[in-house]
Structure 1
Amino acid sequence: MSQRIFIVDDEEHARSRLAILLADIAEECPNELVGQASDAAGALQGIVDTRPDIVLLDIQMPGMNGLDLAARLAREGEEMPAVVFVSAHEDYALNAFDVHALDYLVKPVRAARLAQALKRVATLRGRSSGTAEATPRRAHFTVHERDRLLLVPVTDVLYLKAELKYVTLRTRTRDYLIEDSLSSIEEELDDVFVRVHRNTLVARKAIMGVERGVVGADGESERGQEAWQVILRDVAERLPISRRQWPVVKALVR
């Protein structure tokens, strides 16, 4: 299904470039450019008139900036379009996800990256299955590493495990440390992750199956005790399943 797009940017050449990119990826990601605006006031009216699915939104604009506009859209009601920020600066990424943005693109935007963003929005909003879903609060986890800010897509995460005061986030390629709590992640993204243990959430799509194996001490079983474990896609690691969560996991793999 074609996605209806509205562009908001105070620079005409930036709007023109996005329009060209949308046309270039139309076969891969069907879309219809339904409107453009150079400021927040024009965007508010245009969005009401055209009812787009996605707003490609610049941040630094005269008057009301993109962050303020996104926050206002979020207050307008349940039919808020998905917001994808398009900015020349990475510094606003943290603030962007605080106002429910589903992605954050850094200029100059490449066609492949824009296509990835449109596909992610379609998936998260249930467009691929033809059903309407509530929009998740975030599309990324934010990771602080020394002087860097990294955005790890939720869709890349295999599991999250609470360890001491941090949570370890595991992707196919490496581990990251984040400061979010497991309980808040579970509440927010319960359709993406399932709790398999009091200290572990696993991506539902990453579960290949379960098997019996010997596990270490985990607070619910003794060291060396045999118990059920999760088999994950793309990694050899096995994750123990607690007795309390076993019925939930078993129902997923039937």
Structure 2
Amino acid sequence: MIHVMIAEDERLGREELIYLLEQEEDVVICPSAENGEQLLELYEEYSPDVLFLDIHMPCLTGLEVASILRKETGERPVIVFTTAYDSYAVQAFDLKVTDYLLKPFDKERFTRTMERVREDLLKKNNKRPKIDKLVISLDKKIVVIDPNQIGYAVREGRQVNLHMLNNEMIETKMNLKELEEKLLNFSFYRPHRSYLVNLNAIEEITPWFNGAYNIVIGDKEKTKVPMSRNTARDFFDLLQGLS
């Protein structure tokens, strides 16, 4: 699925884009921003694949936001500028923007934009080298971790801490969604909105209360990770399929 975030200070513009994006079967729409500063905060939390950025926004313009993200995250995310003016093509090119969508939005033109978005996402994904490790950037160094040695991860405030099976804890600057995406090729499951567990590190599952459960991790402390009642059924279906 393609996770998309909109930054648009005009309500009608946001609603029009949301309507068009809802017609795309492979798109998940993240919460929208009304200005550049709010967009940067939401981006840190949700890490969308694609941004639809209005060029003229209060606080920070779309151009300023794109410049900040390019310096911090390189070629990700895919960016589409939206504007009522057609005089920003050079700036868009310099910021490696995928497309430039003029208001009012046209369905046919929007469809071509989404085709370009998918092509760019495919190119960026194919550029990635394959590695069976988790690479994390810390304050002054980069750490390479074997995901199989992670017991569980927990969101604490605005960061995620990795709790290793040897009881070491590693503080990261990632959010839980970012970590979950990095671990898609490994056996991890999200039993609770604040936790991600290594399925291979589970020792047992015990009832708690009101249909909820505790997942016991096979670390030295036998840590109990909560599993909400809403996710329990899917979790047990998953385990049934693995057995």
TM-score by length of 1: 0.47
TM-score by length of 2: 0.50
